[in-house]
Structure 1
Amino acid sequence: MSTKTWQMRRNCALSPKQLLKFYIILVCLSVTVAAGFLLAGVWVILIFTLLELCAVTIGFLIYCRHALDCETIEVNGKQLIVKKFIGYKETIYEFNTQWAKIEPPLEGSKTFFISQSSLRVEIGQFIRQEQQLPLIAAIRPYLG
């Protein structure tokens, strides 16, 4: 019994580990500049440096929370499994390949749906529109 898997990931320039290294360098540089101004008697720069680092920290935390987001479609025999990992929360949906249907995207839609009876899962938020139809065509032969 062969398993076929398709994975769609968010397109991120930096991994969380790379972002942490960049953040440490940024904090060191900002604190060094602020300390230089503080030694020169301009203490107000320290306040703006702390505000800047707070804003950058919040932005980087939001970025890191979603940097590893992905969607996975796996066909294993008569089972179709859709895994959605969004914001460190994984949700798993199981379908029977004999009854599952793929609903093609509506005109201009960024996503498509996999459904079976009352269960309907939105897929494809991490791929471009021109990749949707080839992905649907690749999955269809595995459905009944």
Structure 2
Amino acid sequence: MKRDWQSTMGRREWLLKRNCSLTPRQTVAAWAVLVALSLAIGLFCAWHGAPYVLVFSGLEMAAVTAAFVIYSRHATDFDRIVLDSGTLTVEQVRGGRVQQYCLPATWLRVTAPARRRDPIRLAAGAVTVEVGLYLLEGERRALALELRQALAG
């Protein structure tokens, strides 16, 4: 989990995103190696009289491909929180879908996580936004405190 924040002329910004261990190019390369190796083993076994190994190799390649697609869709998920001119704007990207919330800072409640895996809840009126899902527990608590201090100041 990567957490950055910037402050310029009364504007505060926090960027919360996943800390992915593979770049997109490395992900494709790893997928290609796994699929090629599985296909080579399946073809070798089929050539030597065990055609069912190739069938299971195909199932394995389909499962690996599905796992890599799911990983890739969510590798770029993030939360961006911007406090500027009395408005807290939260932009969330999940699987390529973008949602944006504008919350008035004067009515905003910041609820720190009560349990280990709880997110930070930002609530203003009937709108509640959960952020910080990718942060560790201590980092979520520290971010909740930072947000409270920024809203108070």
User: In which range does the TM-score fall when normalised by the shorter chain?
Assistant: 0.7 to 0.9
In structure 2, what residue type is equivalent to 1:44?
A: Y
For residue 119 of structure 1, the aligned residue among 124, 127, 139 is 127
Task: Name the counterpart of 2:5.
Answer: none
In structure 2, what residue type is equivalent to 1:79?
A: T
CA distance in 2, matches of 1:64, 1:91: 19
CA displacement at 1:79 relative to structure 2:
2.1
Q: Deviations over 1:72-91 (max 9, x none)?
A: 21112322111111121111
For residue 111 of structure 2, the aligned residue among 103, 121, 126 is 103
Task: Name the counterpart of 2:65.
Answer: 57
Query: Across the two proteins, how many residue pairs are aligned to each other?
Result: 144
Which consecutive unaligned segments of at least 5 residues does structure 2 have?
1-8
Q: Deviations over 1:16-64 (max 9, x none)?
A: 4321111111112222222222333332221111111111111222222
Please tell me whether residue 48 in structure 1 is matched to residue 56 in structure 2: yes
Which consecutive unaligned segments of at least 5 residues does structure 1 have?
none
CA distance in 2, matches of 1:96, 1:18: 42
In structure 2, what residue type is equivalent to 1:29?
A: L
Please tell me whether residue 69 in structure 1 is matched to residue 77 in structure 2: yes
| Residue aligned with 2:106, SS | coil
| Residue aligned with 1:98, SS | helix
CA displacement at 1:107 relative to structure 2:
4.3
Please tell me whether residue 136 in structure 1 is matched to residue 144 in structure 2: yes
Task: Name the counterpart of 2:97.
Answer: 89
Structure 1 residue ranges (4+ consecutive) displaced by more than 4 angstroms after TM superposition? none
Task: Name the counterpart of 1:27.
Answer: 35
| Residue aligned with 2:107, SS | coil
Identity level (%) = 28
CA distance in 1, matches of 2:116, 2:71: 27
Which one has more relative contact order, counting CA pairs under 8 Å at least 6 apart?
A: 1
When normalised by structure 1's length, the TM-score is 0.86
CA displacement at 1:135 relative to structure 2:
0.9
When normalised by structure 2's length, the TM-score is 0.81
| Residue aligned with 1:41, SS | coil
